[in-house]
Homo-oligomer: A and B are copies of this chain.
Amino acid sequence: MRTPAKAGESKGRRLTKGGRATRERIIEAAAELMFHRGVGGTSIPDIQAAAGVSASQIYHYFGDKQGLVLAVIDHQTDTRLAQQRPLLDNLDSIEALREWCDRAGNRQDARGCEGGCEIGSLAGELADSDQSARTRLVSAFDRWEGPIRSGLARMQARGELSERADTAVLATALLAAVQGGMLLSQVRRSSTAYRQAVSAVIDHIESYLVR
């Protein structure tokens, strides 16, 4: 017996090929707008115009604005992580860590340091106001931090990283440096702070290298 599946929840929902495409188009347009103007600064009419759809379509596929926001969080998480692979899955050397961080810095420069981290921005705006959004953001950060920790753990298992190193803590510290660095860069319109913050933490990780 299938759950009735309220409108807007894609689970168990039947979508035609066109429907799926429309749904995607809406999410992408919304993600883009929300990244640049914030969730609160992005209205449904804005999204309608950007995606070229009517209001009823948005409500048909997402139920309400909050539903759309949740979908945007998941979409940004998937997209961002996919973008970082395969680097993200091979962070098991200092060079790999530096390369990975450097890529994000270049990306930030490429867009003139406008906007910070796609996930971090959503987090700052939604963490306190939307409980279900916060939950998804928790898992977004977990999905991000996991591969970092795994890479460090592999280095440690191979004996390259001292046993004294707490890979979980180091992974958290690096993710925090990325987030904080991005925020400072966004405000200062220069990727320098990001690069310095991240580099300092990697230097610290490097200090745990064996021999």
**Consensus secondary structure, chain A interface:** helix
Residues of A160-180 contacting chain B, CB below 8 A: 169-170, 172-173, 175-180
- Residues from chain B with a CB closer than 8 A to the CB of A41 are 40, 129
* Closest CB in chain B relative to A202 CB, distance in Å: 10
- Residues from chain B with a CB closer than 8 A to the CB of A175 are 180, 184
The 10 nearest A-B residue pairs measured at CB: A180-B180, A40-B40, A176-B180, A176-B197, A179-B180, A173-B200, A124-B124, A204-B204, A176-B181, A173-B197
- Beyond the given A173-B197, A176-B197, please list 13 additional residue pairs across the A-B interface where CB-CB is below 8 A: A40-B41, A114-B128, A121-B124, A123-B183, A124-B125, A134-B187, A137-B187, A141-B187, A173-B196, A173-B201, A176-B193, A179-B180, A180-B197
For this complex, 17 residue pairs linking A to B, each with C-beta atoms less than 8 Å apart, are A36-B128, A40-B41, A114-B128, A123-B186, A127-B183, A170-B200, A173-B177, A173-B199, A173-B200, A176-B197, A177-B197, A177-B201, A179-B183, A179-B184, A180-B197, A201-B201, A201-B204
Interface residues of A (CB under 8 A from B): 36-38, 40-41, 114-116, 120-121, 123-125, 127-129, 134, 137-138, 141, 169-170, 172-173, 175-181, 183-184, 186-189, 192-194, 196-197, 199-201, 203-204, 207
